[in-house]
């Protein structure tokens, strides 16, 4: 799955010369917490988040009243508080690479580019939706977690047994096992019962870690 298929397309953005107050109002209105920053030539020059807006304001110990705080914030420009070292990805990148970058860099979103043009943004929420779909969460069926030997043909043994009695795999995710010789799998299959699944795994001599 590539980023272009799950990103938010044509995202809202702000300009460097806008004020912190304007950005806060836009975020509140649109119920979003992250905005790319584009210059007058539509080049990506930064990103600003609600956390940046909080840091731009006075500390909780300030003696300023609300009117003085509002006045000060209305004078602070986006370019002064935005994150300038922006990590972005191309729209043709795969979703798992975007997730890895976000995890490694500790960021909650990535602007998505088509060459040098901003075409989207991918956030943690987008990745959560991918996660939900990947595990077939919205499908009815039997969910099984099990481990297989790390060698060719093991999944084919399981899937052929499912197919033989009318079972249809709606999701399949694999992970590293407890050691290099094993592969842990989580699978959801519809069209057959939990007892039929147990019979198949008993026949194949594969231990079930979890079934529901």
Domain of residue 86: give its range. 3-132
User: Residue 192 has what pLDDT?
Assistant: 96
125 and 171 fall within a common domain: no
**Is the separation of the CB atoms in 173 and 126 below 8 Å?**
no
Span 121-135, pLDDT tens digits: 999 999 999 988 888
Q: Quick: pLDDT tens for 155-182.
A: 999 999 999 999 999 999 998 888 888 9
Taking the C-alpha atoms of residue 26 and residue 11, their distance in angstroms, rounded to an integer, is 13
Counted domains in the chain: 2
Q: Report the pLDDT value the prediction gives residue 61, as an integer from 0 to 100.
A: 39
Write out pLDDT tens, residues 34-74.
999 999 999 999 999 988 887 776 554 354 455 565 666 67
Judgement on whether residues 56 and 153 belong to the same structural domain of the protein: no
d(CA 123, CA 121) in angstroms, rounded, equals: 7
Map residue 31 onto helix, strand or coil: coil
pTM of the model: 0.75
Residue 121 shares a structural domain with residue 34: yes
Q: In the beta sheet, which residues pair with residue 168?
A: 190
Identify the H or E element spanning 201. Answer: helix 194-204
User: Where residue 122 sits, what CATH number does that domain have?
Assistant: 3.10.580.10
Evaluate if residue 148 carries a pLDDT over 90: yes
Quick one: what percent of the chain has pLDDT higher than 70? 92
With 50 as the cut, is the pLDDT of residue 16 above it?
A: yes
What are the structure tokens assigned to 150, written together? 């790390």
**26 in the same domain as 65:** yes
Q: Are residues 22 and 101 in the same domain?
A: yes
pLDDT for the residue 158: 96
pLDDT at 67 (0 to 100): 55
* Average predicted confidence (pLDDT) for the chain: 90
């Amino acid at each position: 799955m590539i980023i272009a298929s799950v990103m938010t397309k044509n995202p809202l953005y702000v300009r460097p010369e806008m004020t912190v107050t304007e950005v806060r109002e836009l975020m509140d209105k649109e119920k979003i917490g992250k905005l790319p920053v584009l210059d007058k030539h539509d080049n990506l020059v930064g990103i600003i988040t609600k956390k940046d807006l909080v840091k731009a304001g006075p500390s909780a110990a300030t003696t300023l009243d609300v009117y003085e705080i509002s006045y000060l914030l209305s004078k602070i420009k986006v370019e002064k508080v935005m994150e300038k070292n922006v990590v972005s990805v191309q729209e043709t990148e795969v979703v798992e690479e975007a997730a890895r970058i976000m995890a490694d860099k500790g960021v909650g979103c990535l602007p998505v580019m088509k060459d040098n043009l901003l075409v989207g943004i991918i956030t943690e929420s987008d990745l959560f939706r991918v996660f939900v779909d990947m595990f077939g969460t919205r499908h009815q069926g039997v969910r099984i977690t099990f481990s297989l030997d790390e060698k060719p043909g093991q999944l084919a043994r399981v899937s052929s047994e499912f197919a033989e009695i009318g079972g249809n795999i709606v999701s399949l995710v694999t992970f590293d096992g407890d050691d290099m010789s094993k592969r842990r799998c989580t699978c959801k299959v519809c069209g057959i019962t939990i007892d039929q699944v147990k019979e198949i795994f008993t026949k194949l001599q594969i231990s079930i870690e979890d079934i529901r």
